[in-house]
Structure 1
Amino acid sequence: MRWILGFALAALLTSPAGGAGPSYSVTELGGIGGLSRSVVARDVNDHGQVVGDIRARLGDRGFLWDPDNGWVGIGDERTPTSTAQGLNNAASVVGGSRFGRAFDPDHAFLWTQAEGMSGLSGLLPRESGFSRARDINNHGMVVGSYYAEDGERAFRWSPSEGLGGLGDGVDGMPGRAFAINDAGTVAGTVHGDTRSRAFVWTDTAGARFAPDGESVAYGIGPSGRVVGAIIADGHREAMRWDPSTGVRGLGQLVAGAGFSEARDINGDGVIVGRAVGREGMTAFVWTEARGIRPLEALVEPVDDGQDPLRLFSAVAISEAGHIAAYGRYAGERALRSFLLQPRGAARSQDSSGDGAGALQ
């Protein structure tokens, strides 16, 4: 395993946080892909296990990485390519794979290390065209999207009920479901003729949409708070949407930069994503106490002899505070993926999700 970052001490001392607050230790997802292949993380669970994709010339291949046991590829000889998009605490993985021929469209799958890969009933190759699963909760409920004759549609799926829709307002519009929490609440985005709108769906209340304006949703926390981005005049601003209180913009890393988007939120209200920073696209972390900050500024320096690293995007955060992110070492072209673990941070026992007792 490769430990980093040598350059982070200077960033820590000059960051908006002023050097205060806990830092993260960083571990590269070692042994994956070789030096010439990019590795892109997609999700992380409470055990620090990470899923993502190895990008290769002949097609991507999904993987599951474990801090103790290293990595395993997702798929077998039947699946020439695959993408791993989400996992739960049981290490059940979902994504999309080309069952059969290399040029077939992706089809949604569920994978476990014990049973291997299987297609989701109702979304098997003979039952639909393209489909991709994007998230799975700890009850085995899955969300994603598939292509129908009139465009892409969001779906939810459960082991007991199989394929299901998301009701009026979502089923009738093109869109994607991106995230589901353990309560079964779904977050995603529908696409109209001129704009996109974030939605949240529950079994009791059906679909609700973010207030007027264009928006997208990518993640959801245990309390039902949704994260994504507000879109206006060609600019994106990361947002947190509480369906009971409304939408809140989270700001930009650089004033006037015009791009930030939130990808995930945990029960402590800590939000991660990416934004344009002073050196280009930069991973960020947001808390109620300190707002939006570049994740690089919170990384604990380990060894001054290591190559400098840029973190481009933080894609997921677990309830244990683990962050999955990807970036690139100086002088290299291949992307690398990393597990960030908070050091010296006491997690809040308050379930309100306001971030007040989480990472400061």
Structure 2
Amino acid sequence: MFLLRRKERFDTFFSVLLFQIVLTPLFLSGVSWIIANPSQAAGASYTIKQIGELPLGATHVVRTANEGGDIVGTIKRSGRSGPKGAIWEDGGERSIVQPRPNSDYSVALGINDDNQVVGSANTETGMRAYRSIGNSSVFLELPSGDNSSAAITVNGLGQVVGWSSGAGGIRAVTWDSAGKVKVLEKLQDSNACRALVINDAGDIAGTCDFNSGHRAVLWKSASGKGVTDLGMLPGDIWSVPADINNKGDIVGTSGDAEKHRAVLWPKGERAIKDLGVLTGRVSSKALGINTKGDVVGYSEGGNSSEHAFIWTSKDGMMDLNNLLPANSGFVVVHAIAINSKGDISVIGYDESMNPERHLHDEQIPLRIFRLDNNTLLN
């Protein structure tokens, strides 16, 4: 099991805030390679640029990326009190300005193309959702009676989604560009709901919890009215969305207690599609989708280590490592985001650092790359 695995188990309020959050600094200026394999993806080729490096002795979250390839996540440097939000860009890594300067715990979870960053930071009374723009950050409004909140995603219009918590339980919420909060409708008989992703049309996907597990849901607009259960694969007990494009296509994961599959809900419909798994593996998770419907994520399990994948309607699921030449020198394990041009933000490690030879994940230094697409995938 890889250290970078994102745990989509939203069964408590702090599950996203606490999942694998301690990081170490990274920065490495751009080293580039050209890679190609004409037998795969209709001759797809990439320019690979290293954005950063995560040294040994750290735990961390590298969360997602915007259209320009700026990556957001959370780091904890050795000897410091708590994790902090960060952006990795071509120029290296920089910390996100926090709304509470003396905050000793914060996470960064989402970023848009204007480099607005959203996340959560601690206060005297609980964790609070914030929005960061440039050199300033502000806490977002709480619904009446609540004392904690988390902001997960921000779209191109500055609309933010997440959840809020208090005596009334956990509720999915959205904030407009001015920071005004609105509580979203929940599925009937659900215990709690969380909004996780939003597109520029205002369509929101998230989860609602039941005693049997959490289910992916859709709010067709930021008005918060009309929530739809997106369902799961036959026989599964839970599902969760990870991304939504501006056409309304949603990707995520459906699973049971033993395995899970990357799935696609085309245009937010209940017609769920199983995207499959890579050869030799039993599970997969979809983490990102672009406007063309190309999907990225990773596949795991069985007797094989985690590998990043790209899925297209034309070619199905492909191991991104098969698109790299044998002498590339590294293994790609997670693909976290893909933009409209087909550029992919990925995590990998040196080929010589075989995870089977290490007792603990933190013994493997990870690297952050951007694969700039030189050809059209579809």
Q: Is residue 24–residue 343 contact of structure 1 (8 Å, CA) maintained in 2?
A: yes
- Say if 1:165 and 1:292 are closer, same or farther in 2 by CA, change over 3 A: same
Which runs of 5 or more residues in structure 1 are unaligned? 346-358
- CA-to-aligned-CA distance 1:322-360 (integer Å, 9 cap, x gap): 322223334352333222211233xxxxxxxxxxxxx14
Q: Which amino acid aligns with 1:198?
A: A
What root-mean-square deviation, in Å, do the aligned CA atoms of Structure 1 and Structure 2 show?
3.0
**TM-score when scaled to structure 1?**
0.80
From 25, 40, 47, the counterpart of 2:47: 25
Which runs of 5 or more residues in structure 2 are unaligned? 1-28, 354-362
Aligned to 2:340, the other structure's residue is in SS state coil
> For residues 280-295 of structure 1, what are the structure 2 equivalents within 5 Å?
280-295=305-320
Aligned to 1:316, the other structure's residue is in SS state strand
- Matches of 1:40 and 1:161 in 2, distance apart? 26
1:216 aligns with 2:240: yes
Report the alpha carbon displacement of residue 245 of structure 1 after superposing the two structures with TM: 6.4
- Say if 1:337 and 1:72 are closer, same or farther in 2 by CA, change over 3 A: same
- CA-to-aligned-CA distance 1:201-250 (integer Å, 9 cap, x gap): 12376211113653221111111111111224632111101234611100
Aligned to 2:114, the other structure's residue is in SS state coil
> For residues 299-310 of structure 1, what are the structure 2 equivalents within 5 Å?
299=324, 304=327, 308-310=329-331
Report the alpha carbon displacement of residue 34 of structure 1 after superposing the two structures with TM: 5.7
Q: Which amino acid aligns with 1:197?
A: R
From 75, 82, 99, the counterpart of 1:54: 75
1:270 aligns with 2:270: no
1:132 aligns with 2:174: no
* Counterpart position of 1:65: 88
- Say if 1:161 and 1:54 are closer, same or farther in 2 by CA, change over 3 A: closer
> For residues 204-283 of structure 1, what are the structure 2 equivalents within 5 Å?
206-211=226-231, 214-232=238-256, 234-242=258-266, 243-244=268-269, 246-254=271-279, 257-276=281-300, 279-283=304-308
Report the alpha carbon displacement of residue 78 of structure 1 after superposing the two structures with TM: 2.3
Equivalent pairs, count: 328
- Matches of 2:55 and 2:249 in 1, distance apart? 38
Report the alpha carbon displacement of residue 90 of structure 1 after superposing the two structures with TM: 0.7
Q: Which amino acid aligns with 1:147?
A: S
- Matches of 1:171 and 1:142 in 2, distance apart? 25
* Counterpart position of 1:349: none
Aligned to 1:253, the other structure's residue is in SS state coil
Q: Is residue 23–residue 300 contact of structure 1 (8 Å, CA) maintained in 2?
A: no
> For residues 94-113 of structure 1, what are the structure 2 equivalents within 5 Å?
94-99=118-123, 105-113=126-134
- Matches of 2:153 and 2:202 in 1, distance apart? 11
**TM-score when scaled to structure 2?**
0.77
Q: Is residue 216–residue 229 contact of structure 1 (8 Å, CA) maintained in 2?
A: yes
1:156 aligns with 2:156: no
- Residue identity over aligned pairs, in percent, reads 28
Q: Is residue 40–residue 323 contact of structure 2 (8 Å, CA) maintained in 1?
A: no
